[in-house]
A and B are shown apart, each in its own frame.
Chain A
């Protein structure tokens, strides 16, 4: 295949010539190999490392190698965690590269993997990859939650939080409610943010879902979209602006992960955590919140503000945080690998001696709750906002 024939994600995101240039600058230092959480699951063979994938892609782009089903499989064994990209000797944008290649694989009919095709079918039929009916989307709303018709803030629940792991979403909205901050919520009308489809290279259906969401956002007139999900916030922040341009739709909003909102409220003195929460916690930086959005200080600022909470960091934290194993379509197609990666990370958390593992993405929460169940680990799990809420005095 020539690079001219290459069909990357969004045309303005990563042109073919840049892909070729990027892989040509690989120094083969192997930093990415050591950092990658999925590499060890290839039996230790170099071929499963990001370095080998870049080497293969260089040959592939220059027409010296072919995409075999085995290579397609290897290219999908990646959580898009961005560790490789963070340590790359020559600053190659590796995750956009992986995603561009997956899109090409799909365009050629060589991918995605079977479970990803199911996600697609469900998303096409139901607007979410869990195949849940739209009327269940707002099931997480508590009686005290009072979304308004139109507001500056639009809460975007996201599929995982809405249908599977609602606690972070629920708690975040409870905090907004307590502070009497008006918010709108389009329960039942939200479509999947398209993250699982974008990450697995299924651009056509991703484009449809994004288009529908862009229309929805425009209809609500919201200025800020707030979401508890790492995947949704990354996608809305980084992918939507390009897709909006591509689809010719407006997208004049600010996207915020809930942690940014809490940090702001804290800085403005609008929330004052004062009820002690006696807990020794360790914090897991979700890849798509931390490395993708640079939100490392915000959660720590929030934890530091909660009286009684003692934070013990894992050796790999912030930029070098390990992945929970769920992203990039890995949990769907390689559930065993995903579970093993989550258990590795859980072990690191347990080793800190903390009594609670705190995180801020429902996807990570899902991985860890499964890992805790399967290993019987003696550590609790909660969302950042749950600690925050517990430390807020009851409204009088």
Chain B
């Protein structure tokens, strides 16, 4: 039997070879230049919509049998290319593996299938008096499995750390069709590696006791003050989550939403604490210690209510170049100053999430238009924040496909060595999400990594790109 026949027999209506359907699976969030995409086989040959761990395991077994590359895909709300195939093959759509399997209210844990959407999970936990400890700001669409496989920080990370810190146990399906359970340290290789070692079919998450949160916001005069404030917030046990926004970002947001910016200079720190009577007074005291002040309740509420809409700013783009990096809080002011100096022709918007342990996950936005002729060149600017931050203790945020050459910096050398060893053991033919640990090869030079070319190309073009301001097409 051909693989087409075997997949059709096993999956019936849940498999498609229709070119129109396949086309919807050849991209993610990122707006990569077409010539770059043309260097890889980003369109799958077959898509399977899995609805259970059994479906996932069977799809992997068949892919293994027929030597078909497999790209797991959840909501494709990441922009690093991790959910995009680079050698065609099978895309395994996991969005319908979306059942909350069991809630253990006494131990504050929940078992879920990987396609459960964060916001749905929070709705399902509420009747049990529980809530998500962490979630990305894409919570209305992104999935638990996708975030674990991608790695990252978000809402709640100031108190609870990364997604990895809050996963207690996982089941992973391999190419042999078997599903294995991992806990503790043994889970580590499966986080951040984009399904390159197997597809996660169940996760057990630690939850927090649900409590009413009070959103607050403060104005800080500059980056050092904002960082100092975040450090104080981290030390205050009642604070659940905190993020900062530059005045530039506030301006972009205001333009997109049609209101006046919350501040004209400095930084806005938006945070949520346990709703205690003393919270506002304590926040006021801490803000004053840093030379700042608390903002109106209305601003705080608008920020908290708008927390899932970081990209509303694209309304005035219509696109945005996005640079991302992780940095110790103390390194942020210098990294930010260096970036502002390097991109002085551009209006920058900065948003950053506080991470437990004095870290900051920083996003830098530059509004642009992906349809413009020079956009591919200007894209080189998106790498500058990460490069400059490296001087101040910063490191890349994630790998996916486009930055797979940075795996060593993202994972650390020990984890990278372990992951490579496991990859060789579990997937010698490189079928599990190929191109995400070491980058896809170039079409005419398969041993040259596309990811390395992207890094080298953007390093060369960065200075030139910095001279080309990205102009928003509309300002209101």
Segment of B24-32, B162-170, B333-341 in the binding face: B24-32
How many of B's residues come within 8 Å of A, CB to CB?
Answer: 44
**Cα of A357 to Cα of B21 in the assembled complex, Å:** 38
* Chain B 64-85 interface 0/1 with A at a Cβ cutoff of 8 Å (1 = within): 0000000000011100000000
B283 at interface by CB-CB < 8 Å: no
B312 contact from A47, A90, A315, Cβ within 8 A: A90
**Cα of A315 to Cα of B312 in the assembled complex, Å:** 26
Within 8 A of B (CB), among A28-61: 28-31, 33-35, 43-47, 49, 52, 55-56
Contact A27 B314 (CB under 8 A): yes
Contact B13 A24 (CB under 8 A): no
Contact A91 B312 (CB under 8 A): yes
Residues in chain B near residue A65, CB distance under 8 A: 23
Contact A89 B309 (CB under 8 A): yes
Which partner residue on chain A sits nearest B49 by CB separation?
A: A44
Within 8 A of A (CB), among B73-132: 75-77, 93, 95-96, 117, 119-120, 123
CB of B371 to closest CB in A, whole Å = 6
Residues in chain B near residue A35, CB distance under 8 A: 140
Residues in chain B near residue A30, CB distance under 8 A: 75-77, 138, 141-142
* Chain A 71-105 interface 0/1 with B at a Cβ cutoff of 8 Å (1 = within): 10000000000000001011100000000000000
**Cα of A28 to Cα of B319 in the assembled complex, Å:** 11
- Contact (A31, B141) CB under 8 Å given A25-B318, A46-B24, A71-B20: yes
Contact B21 A29 (CB under 8 A): no
- Contact (A44, B141) CB under 8 Å given A24-B319, A33-B75: no
Residues in chain A near residue B351, CB distance under 8 A: none
B14 at interface by CB-CB < 8 Å: yes
B20 contact from A29, A33, A47, Cβ within 8 A: A47
Within 8 A of A (CB), among B398-419: none
**Cα of A35 to Cα of B140 in the assembled complex, Å:** 9
Grouping DSSP codes into helix (H, G, I), strand (E, B) and loop, the B interface class, with mixed when no group exceeds half, is loop
Contact B318 A29 (CB under 8 A): no
CB of B73 to closest CB in A, whole Å = 8
Contact A89 B20 (CB under 8 A): no
**Cα of A24 to Cα of B316 in the assembled complex, Å:** 11
A34 contact from B117, B311, B474, Cβ within 8 A: B117
Contact A44 B51 (CB under 8 A): yes
Contact B24 A25 (CB under 8 A): no
A347 at interface by CB-CB < 8 Å: no
B28 contact from A28, A47, A87, Cβ within 8 A: A28
B434 at interface by CB-CB < 8 Å: no
Which partner residue on chain B sits nearest A316 by CB separation?
A: B123
With a 10 A CB-CB cut-off, give which of A29, A90, A91, A315 has the most chain B CB atoms: A29
A68 at interface by CB-CB < 8 Å: yes
A149 at interface by CB-CB < 8 Å: no
A21 at interface by CB-CB < 8 Å: yes
| A–B complex contacts, Cβ < 8 Å, 13 sampled | A24-B370, A25-B314, A25-B318, A27-B311, A29-B141, A31-B140, A34-B119, A44-B93, A44-B95, A45-B93, A47-B20, A87-B140, A91-B315
- By a beta-carbon cutoff of 8 Å, the part of chain A in contact with chain B is 21, 24-25, 27-31, 33-35, 43-47, 49, 52, 55-56, 62, 65, 68, 70-71, 87, 89-91, 315
- By a beta-carbon cutoff of 8 Å, the part of chain B in contact with chain A is 13-14, 16, 18, 20-21, 23-25, 27-29, 47, 49, 51, 75-77, 93, 95-96, 117, 119-120, 123, 138, 140-142, 256, 308-309, 311-312, 314-315, 317-319, 369-371, 473-474
